[in-house]
């Protein structure tokens, strides 16, 4: 019976929109700032949401008094089919914030909507919004801990894009919140904290490289570059050692040569015969008696 009534209502809304008797009616808001699309999203009426967006997709961007759009409302209520329609037709609505700086992902986490959170994590439109924080500095990861949603906390912890060390305005990380929250069982705390600590340890070097903006190189390339650098250093060190040894040898040879020359000069000077030698190598003064006398005593 309910399906029949809904079908009739969808047909009626479709005919009303096509007739364009009162086109401004779909933008008329009540005291809460809700327009017809908000109610359709709240109730999870996929076909009605489609009709509204096909007629005028600007309705997807209309905010109520709390700053919520249709995507916020559907996310909070867990209507995943409605969300798929909205994201398909108006993907940039994912970037809209309410008056408290909350995204649709944030509201899904707050309400414990695991299926919605899973959808949002898979959507490209949410890639840059995963770590957005509200006006209290809480990210979706913080909120999962604050609300005590253990399953959601583990789901977010498994996503490497989530900033595990984000700090809210109270100066607390998600681990701080988990440790101080009595709603978590002791074993749950142990599992969460050990998981986060282990993952942070495994990723610490990678994160350091990322922050230094040199993470674009594949790990194998970095390793090869490191090995090549090591080989160059070893080669350079070996060459320096060889050159060092050659230098020592050269210095030793030079010293030996100098010593030899000095010794020869000294020896030659020491035994130089007075008067010199003739062309046949005989001392010129050999027949001089005084020369023979001095030479005898010198030797």
Average pLDDT of span 268-277: 55
How many CB atoms lie under 10 A from the CB of residue 250? 10
How many CB atoms lie under 10 A from the CB of residue 133? 21
CATH superfamily label, 130-216: Ankyrin repeat-containing domain (1.25.40.20)
**Length reported for the chain:** 299
The answer on pLDDT for 124 being more than 80 is yes
DSSP string, 199-231: HHHHHHHHHHHHHTT-TTS-HHHHHHHHHHHHH
Do the domains 1-127 and 130-216 sit in the same CATH topology, yes or no? yes
Judged by DSSP in three states, 107 sits in helix
What is the Cα–Cα distance from 96 to 144, expressed in whole angstroms? Answer: 20
The answer on pLDDT for 33 being more than 80 is yes
Q: Mean pLDDT over all residues of the chain? A: 76
Among 84-88, 241-245, 285-289, name the most confident range. Answer: 84-88
CATH 1.25.40.20, domain 1-127, yes or no: yes
What is the Cα–Cα distance from 146 to 143, expressed in whole angstroms? Answer: 5
220: pLDDT confidence band, cut at 50, 70 and 90? low
The answer on pLDDT for 65 being more than 60 is yes
pTM over 0.75: no
Q: Which of 14-23, 170-179, 240-249 has the lowest mean pLDDT?
A: 240-249
Q: Which of 8-22, 131-145, 182-196 has the lowest mean pLDDT?
A: 8-22
Token reading at 217: 């190189």
pLDDT of residue 28: 85
- Name the residue ranges covered by the structural domains of the chain: 1-127, 130-216, 224-298
133: pLDDT confidence band, cut at 50, 70 and 90? very high
243: pLDDT confidence band, cut at 50, 70 and 90? very low
272: pLDDT confidence band, cut at 50, 70 and 90? low
Average pLDDT of span 135-147: 95
At 159-212, the pLDDT tens digits run 999 999 999 999 999 989 988 888 888 888 888 888 777 665 454 445 555 555
């Amino acid at each position: 019976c309910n399906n029949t009534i809904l079908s009739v209502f969808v047909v009626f809304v479709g005919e009303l929109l096509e007739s364009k008797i009162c086109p401004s009616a779909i933008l008329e808001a009540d005291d809460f700032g809700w327009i017809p699309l908000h109610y359709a999203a709240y109730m999870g009426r996929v076909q009605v949401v489609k009709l509204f967006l096909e007629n005028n997709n600007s309705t997807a961007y209309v905010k109520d008094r709390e700053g919520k759009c249709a995507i916020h409302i559907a996310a909070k209520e867990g209507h995943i089919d409605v969300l798929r329609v909205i994201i398909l037709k108006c993907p940039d609505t994912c970037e809209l914030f309410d008056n408290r700086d909350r995204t649709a992902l944030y509201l899904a986490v707050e309400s414990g909507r695991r299926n919605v959170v899973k959808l949002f994590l898979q959507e490209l439109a949410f890639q840059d919004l995963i770590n957005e924080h509200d006006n209290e500095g809480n990210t979706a990861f913080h909120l999962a801990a604050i609300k005590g949603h253990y399953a959601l906390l583990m789901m977010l912890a498994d996503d490497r894009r989530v900033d595990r060390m984000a700090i809210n305005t109270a100066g607390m990380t998600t681990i701080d919140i988990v440790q101080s929250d009595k709603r978590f069982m002791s074993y749950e705390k142990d599992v969460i904290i050990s998981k986060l600590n282990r993952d942070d340890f495994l990723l610490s070097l990678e994160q350091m490289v990322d922050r230094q903006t040199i993470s674009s190189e594949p790990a194998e390339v970095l390793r090869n570059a490191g090995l090549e650098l090591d080989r160059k250093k070893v080669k350079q060190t070996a060459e320096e050692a060889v050159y060092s040894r050659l230098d020592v040898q050269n210095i030793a040879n030079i010293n030996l040569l100098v010593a030899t020359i000095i010794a020869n000069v000294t020896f030659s000077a020491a035994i130089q015969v007075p008067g010199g030698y003739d062309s046949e190598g005989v001392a010129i003064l050999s027949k001089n008696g005084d020369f023979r006398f001095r030479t005898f005593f010198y030797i």
